[in-house]
Amino acid sequence: MSHRIPFNKPGVAGNESRYLAEAIARGHISGDGEFTRKCSAFFEQELGLQKALLTTSCTHALEMAALLLKLQPGDEVILPSFTFVSTANAFVLRGARPVFIDIRPDTLNLDEQQLERLLSPRTRAIVPVHYAGVGCEMDVILDIAKRHDIAVVEDNAHGLFGKFRGKYLGTLGCLAAHSFHETKNFTCGEGGALFINDARYAERAEIIREKGTNRTQFFRGQVDKYTWVDLGSSYLPSELLAAFLYAQLEAREQIQSKRRRIWEYYRQHLAEWAEQHDVRRPFVPETCEHPFHMFYLLAPSLEFRQALIAHLKARGILSVFHYLPLHLSAMGKSFGGKSGDCPVSETISDRLLRLPFYNDLSEADQARVVEAIQEFHG
Ligand SMILES: Cc1ncc(COP(=O)(O)O)c(C=O)c1O
């Protein structure tokens, strides 16, 4: 059936069509034009970054990170089992072995207390995923990484504009990957960005993103011809995507205030029902400011979660589960993953339910979602 209240609708901020027309009129629609520069400058200024490079997806930003770290077959990368496949795939593509770490039951972020146990002489990187934009315990993670000379690559697909202890997520690891897929707060359909917080990676990042050539330096007039100098691929998005994205970034305050309202509404109006039914709402530690990316419920059991999805579906409301633990996927098992390795990820995956959440979700529709949930008693 077609859902009356979908799970997601890509947001349109207002100036997208105008900026697309401007890019077309300017006659430059391939990558790295005026709008790409505007988006990069926006991130660099707003977040105080050294360098932001737009990419074609978060997946590609993660692949760039794996190339930048020069990962080799046999190297190990520690990442949560409870994440999207790209967090692992980007590193596995370079021959690295994913070492799956379980998550904390409160924030659903990687359990930093288990990190030391999983380190080995081959560990080259830790990839914290800020689930739902709530920051991982970065102090502990960065301290361990520093002591063992390991890179930290933030998978910040959910967390743009979130903060940990007052610092923006995406500025804490040496590299950080972002997503502008249509489910994200800010979108251009498919897109991403790599934030570079360690100057050592800046020059090679430009080369890797430009098919392994020094074309970016050529355009800046730093070399008189460009050529193949390193590994690389085509990771830079077209100006059309950057034009669309810039319209969204410009509307940062407006988009974030809409999302704050939606998130707070769910939190407040579902409090009593959640309490009565042993359902948990998202937990945000005092150290974190989150960017209102998603609202989830943690049901007491898989059966309860499935019945609630069906109950909402029957009322034209689409709610969805999230990641299946990677260590139990076909690929994860090929790396030795087995049931019981990450028990928290396994139970959370069974019980988590995401509610409709998009910039233009009206209060009337949201009230319908809340009422439908309140009618459900397990
Ligand atoms: C944690 C995480 N990392 C990476 C990605 C991949 O993002 P993209 O679709 O931009 O490649 C996703 C997708 O939503 C994600 O949830």
Nearest residue by C-alpha to atom 7 in ligand 1: 58
Report residues of the chain scoring pLDDT below 50: 1
Query: Is the torsion defined by CA of 270, 102, 183, 322 positive or negative?
Result: negative
Of all protein residues, the one whose alpha carbon is nearest to atom 8 of ligand 1 is 58
- Nearest by Cα to 57 from 187, 207, 250: 187
pLDDT attached to residue 261: 98
| Protein residues with CB under 6 Å of any ligand 1 atom | 57-59, 83-84, 86-87, 129, 155, 157, 179, 181, 192
- 277 Cα: distance to centroid of ligand 1 (angstroms): 31
pTM of the model: 0.97
Q: Is the distance from CB of 258 to CB of 362 less than 8 angstroms?
A: no
- Nearest ligand 1 atom to the CA of 192 is 10
- Ligand 1, atom 16, lies closest to the CA of 84
**Smallest CA separation from ligand 1 atom 9, residue:** 181
Q: Which of 79, 181, 241 to mutate to test the pocket of ligand 1 (most atoms within 8 A of CB)?
A: 181
- Side chain identity at residue 221, one-letter code: G
Instruction: Among 59, 184, 349, say which to mutate for ligand 1: greatest number of ligand atoms within 8 Å of CB.
Output: 59
CA of residue 179 to ligand 1 center, whole Å: 6
Give the number of the atom of ligand 1 that is nearest the alpha carbon of residue 178. 10
C-alpha–C-alpha distance, residues 203 and 25, integer Å: 31
Residues 6+ away with beta carbon under 8 Å from 182: 8, 10, 189, 190
Q: What is the 3-state secondary structure (H, E, C) of the chain?
A: CCCCECCCCCCCCCCHHHHHHHHHHHCCCCCCCHHHHHHHHHHHHHHCCCEEEEECCHHHHHHHHHHHCCCCCCCEEEEECCCCHHHHHHHHCCCCEEEEECECCCCCCECHHHHHHHCCCCEEEECCECHHHCCCCHHHHHHHHHHCCCEEEEECCCCCCCEECCEECCCCCCEEEEECECCCCCCCECCEEEEECCHHHHHHHHHHHECCECHHHHHCCCCCCCCECCCCCECCCCHHHHHHHHHHHHCHHHHHHHHHHHHHHHHHHCHHHHHHCCCECCCCCCCEECCCCCCEEECCCHHHHHHHHHHHHHCCECCECCCCCHHHCHHHHHCCCCCCCCHHHHHHHHHEEECCCCCCCCHHHHHHHHHHHHCCCC
**Which ligand 1 atom is the nearest neighbour of the CA of 57?**
10
